Structure 1
Amino acid sequence: MRIAMGAFKTGNYRNLFKEIGKSDAEIQARIDEAVKTFFYDENERIYHEAGEDMGYLTDTGNNDARTEGMSYGMMMCVQLDMKEQFDRIWKWSKTYMFMTEGDNEGYFAWSCQTDGTKNAYGPAPDGEEFYAMALFFASHRWGDGEGIFEYSREARELLSSCIHKGENGRPGCPMWNKENGQILFVPGSPHTDPSYHLPHFYELFALWANEEDREFFANAAKVSRDYLVKCCHKETGLSPEYGNFDGTPMDKELPWGQFGDFFSDAYRTAANIGLDAVWFGEEKKHLGAPLRMMKFFGTDLEAVRCAYKVDGTPLERPVLHPLGLLSATAQGALAAADDDFETAKKWVEWFWNQPLRKGVRRYYDNCLYMFALLALSGNYRIY
């Protein structure tokens, strides 16, 4: 049986590390060590201070700052009660990434150089989602400040842009397809990204967004859960990086490659489903996908060394982010029913025995690692 109610109603957050026998002291030491490495270690950190009151997270493989990582960093900081770092990242985002003119006014440029120079003038919707959710949590945990630090106002205005651009003469395109309620890969695109579907966020946006936007987000939560059922393969549980609105893998090749397979972006889908199970917990069909993934990969971690088609066909394409895949899949264990916990337990144990990734490509892996560490220890919470 799966827990009938999630932490939103009960306030109880499952700690899978304790369930595999780790002590509170061991768990806290692991979190402290990871935070020290991720934020402060001179050789391995992702976070960097900039001047007296700003900071950024860098994609170490591309030497830029991305809204993905910046908003992830803010979410980590609010979960860890690191207000100074949260405010520094937010101010850097608003100073350098936020766009105040043109079709994308009201959004954030998805990539900037580490000196703040914009590399692009388009947004990536997963960044906006995480910015908004982190800002609401900051408002509730620390209280609103003034100006850009009036967190709840900033979150509401950002979400309003995300769904109302293009209306009443306002330039640009929304981040959701208004006909089917699905989040888009980029505004105006004809496809979605399964890992952008965050129904557990939308449930909360439906409570805290502007009054006129709440019904939209309540529906978006249902739409996304229904979509995840369709896009996660019925046997393997794998989802594609990019998908058509009907749940099938995107079959159109983009200028930068084919993205209808199970690859880097798609790893996050299992993690998102795991967090949805913790926060809202109701029996939904999409919650079974992470366990199907675990059973597909089997008991040998070598199975996660290559890419796959969503039907499980292996591809001659190596995994770029093996720790990210392991971390996100382990976080998906939070969705496993009690009678399937032995399978899920193996992944939690594998994750526990993995260190943070070192080297040039560590950014994405270690972001997913940090989220899994928080979620599996019961510390990725609603505020």
Structure 2
Amino acid sequence: MYSNSGAFYTKEYRNVFKELGYSEKEIDKKVEDTFNEMFYGDEHTRIYHPVGEDMGYIVDTGNIDVRTEGMSYGMMMCVQMNKKEEFDRIWRWVKKYMYHKSGEYAGYFAWSCKLDGTRNANGPAPDGEEYFAMALFFASHRWGDGPEPLNYSIQAKEILKACVHKGEDSIGNPMWEISNKLIKFTPESHFSDPSYHLPHFYELFSLWAYEEDRQFWAEAAAASREYLKKTCNPVTGLAAEYANYDGTPETTKGHQYFYSDAYRVAANIGLDYEWFKKDDWEREEANKIQSFFADIEDINDYRIYNLDGTAFEEKALHPVGLLATNAMASLAADRPNAEKFVRKFWNTPLRTGVRRYYDNCLYFFSLIALSGKYRIW
């Protein structure tokens, strides 16, 4: 199915909370309050920390490090909320401490640093690069380009250029498998992470990347949508954390189960459907995953699962995050469970304490998506 009814075409974004009877005033307040708690709340809630006069970082509170995942998420949150100062602070920190100026990873970002900027690892994680690029394009369109490194659109294009062309005339590897247009788990790996697949981003990259790469990104969007059909279980809707290019779970790393990374698949499908509505399979998938979790009333009973739905004894590490992504799937779902998950999510507060970082990042994205505030800029 191909439709021109997505928000990219109509410029209209669903406010699912409003559809369910919540007032615009209370929705706006919840969004603003949540951002302020995450960025400026008490020590048990916030994840953002300003540094000096012009930098700042997002901390992974469970691991006490700074990750490209969190930094790129923070930038996306800020551009969606029109928080330019915080956006610029995070980006300056990224460029100073994470960016590789030379070597096999030149043009990429070290995925994990200590809070003082010392690198824990040099290798990149491709989900950071794709979120950096998208947030930077949005920043350019919303605020305009400034002097380097705030020349957002050029920075975004250069990231995407490295992702596709790395290794052609120098050392290193691209972040996408060029033969099949699928994102890799790392540049060196030959398998993927289903939750890294963001076809709605690639559609926009196909419009805004360097001209010679635009066809690649259009094909990558189509390839990712087809890949997700292969990797999500046809009955439960569950995806593995890591999967081979043929969609089968990648079993050698111990991440062949539905666990933390994989929660994001439902959220990504929901947002892709909201923005582009290019495939009715996404609606079917959203219905399936919500159906699987619908009878679990207490989110603290969420577990690790095999893709066929059999549960392990070990409980989910990020139950609030899982609820949030299941709620975000309601952008695509059309069965009664869609309302059930949105209302349950609305009544669930931010997580506090040591493990709050990942849960609350997913929480915030779901919150702005379901309120019609996760927009294409």
Alpha carbons of structure 1 residues 332 and 318: separation in structure 2 relative to 1, 3 Å: same
Matched position secondary structure for 1:172: coil
Residue 360 of structure 1: aligned partner: 354
Provide Cα deviations, 1:210-244, integer angstroms capped at 9, x if missing partner: 01100100000000000011111111011100001
Provide Cα deviations, 1:77-117, integer angstroms capped at 9, x if missing partner: 00000000000000000000001121111100000011111
Provide the TM-score with structure 2 as the length reference. Answer: 0.97
Residue 264 of structure 1: aligned partner: 260
Matched position secondary structure for 2:94: helix
Residue 96 of structure 2: aligned partner: 95
Any residues of structure 2 matched to 1:139-150 within 5 Å, and which? Answer: 139-150=140-151
1:272 alignment partner AA: N
User: Equivalents in 1 of 2:18, 2:278: separation in Å?
Assistant: 23
Q: How far has the Cα of 1:351 moved from its partner? A: 0.2
2:67 alignment partner AA: R
Residue 129 of structure 2: aligned partner: 128
Residue 288 of structure 1: aligned partner: 284
User: Equivalents in 2 of 1:35, 1:23: separation in Å?
Assistant: 19
User: Equivalents in 1 of 2:376, 2:195: separation in Å?
Assistant: 20
Any residues of structure 2 matched to 1:1-383 within 5 Å, and which? Answer: 5-43=5-43, 44-168=45-169, 170-252=170-252, 254=253, 258-302=254-298, 305-337=302-334, 340=335, 342-383=336-377
Matched position secondary structure for 2:200: helix
User: Equivalents in 2 of 1:311, 1:364: separation in Å?
Assistant: 25
User: Equivalents in 1 of 2:333, 2:348: separation in Å?
Assistant: 21
User: Equivalents in 1 of 2:146, 2:131: separation in Å?
Assistant: 20
Q: Which runs of at least 4 in structure 1 moved beyond 6 Å after TM superposition?
A: none
User: Equivalents in 1 of 2:294, 2:85: separation in Å?
Assistant: 43
Provide Cα deviations, 1:26-72, integer angstroms capped at 9, x if missing partner: 10111121011100013221000000000000000111100000000
Alpha carbons of structure 1 residues 221 and 322: separation in structure 2 relative to 1, 3 Å: same
Question: Does the CA contact (< 8 Å) of 2:3 and 2:276 recur in 1?
Answer: no
> Cα RMSD (Å) of the superposition?
1.4
User: Equivalents in 2 of 1:116, 1:11: separation in Å?
Assistant: 40
1:358 alignment partner AA: T
Q: How far has the Cα of 1:294 moved from its partner? A: 0.8
Structure 1: which 5+ residue stretches go unaligned? none
Provide Cα deviations, 1:348-370, integer angstroms capped at 9, x if missing partner: 00000000000000000000000
| Count of aligned positions | 375
Q: How far has the Cα of 1:4 moved from its partner? A: 5.5
Q: How far has the Cα of 1:305 moved from its partner? A: 1.5
User: Equivalents in 2 of 1:177, 1:249: separation in Å?
Assistant: 17
User: Equivalents in 2 of 1:217, 1:61: separation in Å?
Assistant: 34
Q: How far has the Cα of 1:296 moved from its partner? A: 1.2
User: Equivalents in 1 of 2:365, 2:189: separation in Å?
Assistant: 28
Q: How far has the Cα of 1:11 moved from its partner? A: 0.3
Matched position secondary structure for 1:84: helix
User: Equivalents in 2 of 1:301, 1:100: separation in Å?
Assistant: 49
2:303 alignment partner AA: C
Alpha carbons of structure 1 residues 13 and 3: separation in structure 2 relative to 1, 3 Å: farther
Provide Cα deviations, 1:100-143, integer angstroms capped at 9, x if missing partner: 12111110000001111111000000000000000000000000
Structure 2: which 5+ residue stretches go unaligned? none
Q: How far has the Cα of 1:286 moved from its partner? A: 3.3
2:294 alignment partner AA: G
2:238 alignment partner AA: L
Matched position secondary structure for 2:241: coil
1:185 alignment partner AA: F
Matched position secondary structure for 1:149: coil
Question: Does the CA contact (< 8 Å) of 2:207 and 2:214 recur in 1?
Answer: yes
2:147 alignment partner AA: E
User: Equivalents in 2 of 1:4, 1:88: separation in Å?
Assistant: 37
Matched position secondary structure for 2:31: helix
